[in-house]
Amino acid sequence: MLVIANRIQADFDGAANAYAWLLHSGWKSNVALSNGEYWRLITAVFIHTDLRHLTVNSSFLLLFGVLVEQHIKGAAFAVLYLIAGVMGMLASYVLTPSPSVGASGAVLGLLGAYSVIVLKRQVPSAVWHLLLIGVFLLFQLGAAIQSATIDGWSHLGGFMTGVILSIVFLNASGTAPSR
């Protein structure tokens, strides 16, 4: 919903007003966070700049979400996704002054979790899965380096959080055979 309202606002009022709307709506702003608006660490995960941004994140959420949810289910999956997103925004806050929005940190958290799942469990064609994960990570790294609008720190923070939380959740379930 927020992305649709942002696009309508941008079309009628111009880009400057659209960015003011994003700031007001809860994007990650270091100044606002420094002034105690910590809720932005959550809201920024659910705001996207445009339909393309939302579509890309939703597509990778679907792809990695289905794979991860086979191993980390229910509330643990939701916690993994949300905490990876928030920790991605926290990494962004600590490491860059640039504003940020989007679920990429949360989605990369799922990719981090899936990396652990592939390494820890008997996943068919594990080498193929690890190759695809590596290609996706290289793509993310290249995109973050080439574009000033892609928040690589949020991606890295989300990925690392996904790795850590998946180890905790998989060990807690006690059903993960070692490779």
Sole residue written with tokens 């190759």: 131
Model pLDDT, residue 53: 86
Each residue's pLDDT tens digit, 106-124? 999 999 999 999 998 777 7
Model pLDDT, residue 4: 45
Retrieve residue 80's tokens: 């993994």
Question: CA-CA distance, 60 to 48, in Å (whole number)?
Answer: 14
Retrieve residue 76's tokens: 């643990």
Question: CA-CA distance, 109 to 90, in Å (whole number)?
Answer: 13
pTM of the model: 0.83
C-alpha distances in Å from residue 74, one per residue of 51, 77, 101, 166: 28, 5, 25, 13
Instruction: Tell me phi and psi for residue 124, to 5 degrees.
Output: -60, 140
Model pLDDT, residue 106: 97
Strand partners, 28: 100
Strand partners, 100: 28
Weakly modelled stretches of the chain, pLDDT under 70 = 1-19, 21-24, 174-179
Instruction: Find, among 73, 157, 170, 68, the residue nearest to 111 by Cα.
Output: 68
C-alpha distances in Å from residue 99, one per residue of 5, 103, 161: 19, 14, 20
What SS3 state is found at 28? Answer: strand
Retrieve residue 47's tokens: 């705001």
Domains of the chain as residue ranges with CATH: 28-173 (1.20.1540.10)
Model pLDDT, residue 139: 84
Model pLDDT, residue 175: 53
Question: CA-CA distance, 167 to 58, in Å (whole number)?
Answer: 24
Task: Judge whether 99 and 29 are in contact, CB under 8 Å.
Answer: yes
Residue 137 half-sphere exposure toward CB, CA atoms < 13 A: 16
